[in-house]
Amino acid sequence: MRSKRLVVIGASAGGIEALRVIVGALPTDFAAPICVVLHTSPQSPGILDGILTRAGRLPATNVINRERLQDGHIYVAPPDFHLVVEPGLVRVTKGPRENRFRPAIDPLFRSAAQIYGPAAIGVILTGSLDDGTDGLWAIKQLGGTAIVQDPRDALFPSMPQNAIDHVNVDYSLRLADIAPMLIRLTAAPVDSTAPSGDVPDVLRVEVKIAMEHNPLDAGLERVARPSRFACPECHGVLLELKEGTRVKFRCHTGHAYSVASLLAAIGEGIEASLWSAVRALEEGQLLLTRMAEHLKANHDATVAQRLIDRAVEAQKQSEVIRQLVMQRAPLAEASSV
């Protein structure tokens, strides 16, 4: 028996040019559908499909919900929607953000692993942090093919390097070599009766969450245990999940974090708190100075001087915190977990 292949590609920083290179080298008779997730902001104009259409011979479109997959067509995740697959279909969902993004790479890759098994081909391109590592691990676990851009060839090497560190990848390739490899792999038949790994419970639960199921109804508490940490987005308790060598987190709402993305989110919270402290101290200094001027005008110099002294102290404290903000290194840089 033959099973149609599916190619899923994830990219972040530097990804537009990398995708253009790959798409530009694919033939019109490419023998599989291609699903693409590029990290974008919710306010993005959603023009990646046009860029990829102009870059090569294959049509690219932003996904229409429950659209049927066709060989030689590129399906692009629209801004602020996850892209997931079902048997023969592609879907967009408003599932919770993962690794601080929607669209995120992991939901697409996990669904491809669950539905297509050995027929799934996952590709991780240039990008920061580690979105896609978990999904690529799932593809490999269920018998699919794992490809990463050679980190030395990537504009931002973190995403492919994290995948290499945690997944037994099949190919680490220069960007120019990825399209020829995809052509070769998709031209070969896949025996749908070939053995593949059992779908882990954690994977089933996370695919359901991406498809807009309530996380508790999907079984999150069955496969995870409470941690000491709070979700940076909704401030609920994060539950800890383990797969292979990796640790990750989800809250009851469904927001998901790798260790690196959680550190990045915590780091952003620390910076925001420090800037709030700077603002409060500077506002206090301005108010103290204004009140001192008022008291001086009313011939109460002694109290005015006390207020000036306190204003000077507030300014010193503000400068100390401001310098701390400027000099501190991002927490995520310390993590390769």
Residue 227 is a catalytic residue: no
Residue 80 is a catalytic residue: no
Write the CATH number for 114: 3.40.50.180
pLDDT at 5 over 90: yes
Instruction: Tell which of 187, 210, 243 closes a domain.
Output: 187
Same domain for 173 and 277, yes or no, is no
Please identify which of the residues 49, 130, 131, 153 carries the catalytic annotation: 131
Same domain for 268 and 144, yes or no, is no
At residue 78, what are phi and psi to the nearest 5 degrees?
-75, 160
Confidence of residue 54 (pLDDT cuts 50, 70, 90): very high
Q: Is residue 121 part of a domain?
A: yes
pLDDT of residue 298: 81
pLDDT at 221 over 80: yes
Distances (CA, A) of 320 to 89, 256, 284: 56, 34, 15
Residues 23/74, Cβ–Cβ less than 8 Å = yes
Same domain for 173 and 272, yes or no, is no
Q: Is the pTM of this model over 0.85?
A: yes
pLDDT tens, residue by residue, 8-22 = 999 999 999 999 999
Please identify which of the residues 39, 73, 82, 255 carries the catalytic annotation: 39
Same domain for 183 and 308, yes or no, is no
Instruction: Tell which of 122, 155, 187 closes a domain.
Output: 187
Distances (CA, A) of 260 to 36, 99, 309, 330: 23, 9, 44, 11
Q: Is residue 271 part of a domain?
A: yes
Confidence of residue 334 (pLDDT cuts 50, 70, 90): low
Which whole number is the average pLDDT over 168-172? 97
Residues 130/260, Cβ–Cβ less than 8 Å = yes
pLDDT of residue 333: 60
Instruction: Tell which of 187, 205, 237 closes a domain.
Output: 187
Residue 39 is a catalytic residue: yes
